[in-house]
Amino acid sequence: SQKIEQNSEALNIQEGKTATLTCNYTNYSPAYLQWYRQDPGRGPVFLLLIRENEKEKRKERLKVTFDTTLKQSLFHITASQPADSATYLCALDMSNTGFQKLVFGTGTRLLVSP
Amino acid sequence: GAGVSQSPRYKVAKRGQDVALRCDPISGHVSLFWYQQALGQGPEFLTYFQNEAQLDKSGLPSDRFFAERPEGSVSTLKIQRTQQEDSAVYLCASTPGGQGVWGQFFGPGTRLTVL
């Protein structure tokens, strides 16, 4: 069965540094991968989507890479700020029927200290 | 509306009670999804609607779970004879649907606690 792994331990970094979060998956070749941010007591918020034929995608301070050979995506936040503290979820589209059927990882909690 | 809304935000039920959770997607969004999120886990897919048609219900844990979207807008997730293992946050998400690949717009969730 499909397995998506994200670091279960919280990632603690200092303000201004680059945070790098990892998403590894097995047994599937998704057409695309998404990253979401989730704050306590709230629903996930969509951040970025990267397709299988894209190596890298950027949006402001965010950068996502997608290596289909390694079956891995890396999510970077540059010049991190305390406001970036949240749980970050990666999600793969498991559907082959034309609609999205997302499978989420367990998420990695990021803590940015001043 | 401006975003996806869900009600109630919190629901406490006694074991064996039936509950109904409501989702108001973004106006005009064709696709609607329900997820279940246990504490410390990522959301797990329950079911998907395209307009009023329920095209995938493979994630519903048992026949006690039922979802509907009769007019293609508001959706209700119903859980009959609730059990303690049903305690979780239930999330609703919507997308414009049609051609294209979308990020999903999530509501704030309903936290269900079954005593």
What tens-digit pLDDT sequence spans chain A (114 residues)?
668 999 878 999 999 999 999 999 988 888 889 999 999 999 999 999 999 889 899 999 999 999 989 999 999 999 999 999 999 999 998 776 667 889 999 999 999 999
| Structure letter (DSSP) for residue B85 | G
**Res A2: pLDDT:** 67
Q: Does B42 sit within 8 Å of A89, measured CB to CB?
A: yes
How far is B44 from chain A, CA to nearest CA, in Å? 7
How far is B9 from chain A, CA to nearest CA, in Å? 10
- Cβ burial A94-108 (10 Å sphere, 16+ → b, else e): ebeeebbbbbbbbbb
Q: Does A102 sit within 8 Å of B101, measured CB to CB?
A: no
Q: Does B44 sit within 8 Å of A104, measured CB to CB?
A: yes
Question: B48 to chain A: which residues are within 8 Å by CB?
Answer: 99-101
Give Rg (Cα) of chain B.
13
Residues in chain B, pLDDT under 70: 1, 99
